[in-house]
Chain A
């Protein structure tokens, strides 16, 4: 079973616009990670946010975490056509040891 659920499932925007993807989860976590997957490729780690953090930045990426609502968001600013990919959140649950559980992903298309 998948711990995280991304919303929306698909998102289409124009280059230069911002893209926001949301992730909700069910149980307590140690941290939450976001990964990117280009079509036909493996997943690439983007950013990790710990349960005691509320916001984190990495280049054009901004991640927020609200543990009271069990949700996270990934914001990509000034999107580029090369950002077209699927984005997955993954949670490291407090009682699950060293194991990540992935959500179903958001498929982002950035039109040039």
Chain B
């Protein structure tokens, strides 16, 4: 069974440039998460989807971050414009949807903003 797939794995951009990350969750997983992980810290939730609906986006900086999950499968996370402080690893995870269950993570997309 294929795991959670993320791309790109690495991205280096100049500040003020846009960037987008893509995630393909495990087939059949209804719940999709985007986490941000700063260096040496644990992941912090940005947004959670139940199918197509964003059910928890309270931690998403909405002035520059946006996310979508069309058709309840793949998801994209966009930053526009990027700032130096956005340098981090952006992790996508999915789960079958049972409350409090195990999350399956992708390898992450490492963003460096210069």
Interface residues in chain A, defined as those with a beta carbon under 8 Å from any beta carbon in chain B? 2, 4, 30-31, 33, 35, 40-45, 48, 88, 90, 92, 97-105
A86: min CB distance to chain B, Å? 9
Q: B99 and A97: CB pair below 8 A?
A: yes
Q: Which of B43, B99, B105 contacts A92 (CB 8 A)?
A: B99
Q: Which residues of A contact B110 (CB under 8 A)?
A: 40
List the A residue with the shortest CB-CB distance to B41: A104
Does B100 reach chain A (CB closer than 8 Å)?
Answer: yes
Q: Among residues 89 to 114 in chain B, which have CB atoms less than 8 Å away from a CB atom of chain A?
A: 91, 93, 95, 97-108, 110
- A85-B93 Cα distance, complex, nearest whole Å: 19
Q: Which of B41, B45, B98, B106 contacts A101 (CB 8 A)?
A: B45
Q: A105 and B99: CB pair below 8 A?
A: no
Q: A31-B100, A42-B91, A97-B55 are in contact. Are A103 and B42 (CB under 8 A)?
A: yes
Q: Which of A4, A35, A98, A102 contacts B48 (CB 8 A)?
A: A98
B68: min CB distance to chain A, Å? 19
Q: A30 and B107: CB pair below 8 A?
A: no
- A105-B93 Cα distance, complex, nearest whole Å: 18
- A2-B43 Cα distance, complex, nearest whole Å: 9
- A103-B44 Cα distance, complex, nearest whole Å: 9
- Mask: chain B, 26-42; 1 = CB below 8 Å from A; 0 = not: 00000100010000111
Besides A43-B43, A44-B105, A97-B56, 11 other CB < 8 A contacts? A31-B100, A33-B102, A41-B107, A42-B107, A43-B103, A43-B105, A88-B42, A97-B99, A100-B103, A102-B44, A105-B41
